[in-house]
């Protein structure tokens, strides 16, 4: 009798796809909340508060890092994966189109690969994997465009989108350094804490929280906020921080390409958005690129 055993890299890949499915759905949940009057800053702050409180109940024995240097790195994680990423991406959407921002932020796997290649030889992709990443990006562009062939460039908005892409690459680089000495729950809790702390000046002086309590009490609103906080933030960030050192930062980040497919499919079912032939072809190209990315290293 054959026994099937899921190896750690295989389990990490399955979980990475699961996380990307959830993160792909968050665009739909956020759209529902925005349509009910919440601001992007309201959504970010509330989902991180919910995630931090929930995580604190199960991870509270160790409050500080082992050294001041590591604490600073955790602060940078909170900025790169929390406040700065959120602000740069959402401000980019104010100046540029959603398609532009999605495509530029979609370059994150490539910027992450280039950044890590400068520091870690084991994270360098093979020629086949580089080709796979480029093919997957082409597929992502077609999925995002979804039949629309015209892009309107905006220097400020597009620069902010590039900033969002680079901040997540920096997040991945720091995670690789810290994951050897700290567990995923501790790192994730610190990310939420420092993300909340560093977003406060923006919420106090620039864009104060404005959500009406009556709006928050609506089932569709608090239901989506709880989902974003507990599942999309707490659970998925813990899983992602566990996945990165086991699957490899570059390979894991390349899985992020699949988010666009999940977002497209869920939007079609929930929001009744149309899917064009271009998007379907793009999804197939993206999947082909992902297959090449998963091929074992070989020069």
CA distance 136 to 215: 40
Nearest alpha carbon to residue 110 among 89, 137, 92, 85: 137
Q: Tokens for 88?
A: 């740069």
Give residue 89's pLDDT: 85
Digit-coded pLDDT (tens) for 151-168: 667 788 889 889 989 999
Helix boundaries (H) for 36-154: 40-58, 68-78, 84-95, 98-105, 108-117, 127-145
CA distance 171 to 291: 25
Digit-coded pLDDT (tens) for 34-87: 888 888 888 889 999 999 999 998 877 888 999 999 999 999 999 999 999 988
Q: Tokens for 293?
A: 């990315």
Q: Tell me how far the alpha carbon of residue 123 is from its chain's centroid.
A: 20
Mean pLDDT of each 10-residue bin along the chain, 299 residues long: 52 93 88 86 90 89 90 96 89 77 85 86 84 92 79 80 91 90 93 95 86 87 95 95 90 89 87 87 92 68
CA distance 36 to 53: 24
Q: Tell me how far the alpha carbon of residue 17 is from its chain's centroid.
A: 12
Nearest alpha carbon to residue 187 among 233, 245, 235, 238: 238
Give residue 298's pLDDT: 47
Give residue 101's pLDDT: 80
- pTM here is 0.86
CA distance 125 to 245: 15
Q: Tell me how far the alpha carbon of residue 186 is from its chain's centroid.
A: 19
């Amino acid at each position: 009798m054959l026994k099937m055993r899921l190896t750690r890299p295989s389990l990490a890949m399955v979980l990475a796809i699961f996380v990307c499915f959830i993160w792909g759905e968050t665009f739909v949940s956020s759209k529902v909340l925005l349509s009910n009057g919440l601001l992007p800053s309201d959504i970010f702050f509330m989902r991180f508060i919910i995630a931090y409180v929930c995580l604190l109940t199960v991870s509270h024995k160790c409050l500080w890092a082992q050294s001041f240097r590591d604490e600073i790195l955790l602060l940078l994680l909170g900025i790169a994966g929390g406040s700065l990423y959120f602000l740069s991406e959402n401000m980019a959407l104010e100046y540029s189109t959603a398609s532009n921002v999605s495509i530029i932020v979609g370059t994150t796997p490539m910027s992450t690969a280039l950044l890590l290649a400068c520091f870690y030889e084991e994270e360098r992709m093979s020629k086949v994997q580089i080709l796979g990443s480029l093919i997957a990006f082409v597929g992502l562009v077609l999925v995002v465009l979804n039949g629309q062939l015209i892009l309107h460039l905006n220097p400020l908005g597009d620069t902010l989108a590039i900033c969002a892409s680079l901040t997540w690459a920096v997040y991945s680089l720091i995670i690789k350094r810290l994951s050897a000495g700290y567990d995923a729950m501790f790192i994730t809790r610190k990310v939420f804490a420092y993300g909340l702390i560093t977003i406060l000046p923006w919420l106090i002086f620039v864009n104060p929280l404005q959500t009406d309590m009556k709006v928050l009490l609506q089932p569709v609103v608090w239901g989506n906020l709880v989902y974003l906080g507990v599942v999309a933030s707490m659970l998925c960030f813990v899983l992602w921080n566990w996945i990165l050192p086991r699957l490899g930062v570059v390979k894991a980040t390349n899985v992020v390409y699949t988010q666009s497919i999940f977002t497209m499919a869920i939007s079609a079912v929930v929001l009744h958005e149309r899917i064009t032939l271009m998007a379907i072809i793009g999804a197939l190209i993206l999947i082909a690129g992902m297959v090449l990315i998963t091929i074992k290293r070989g020069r």
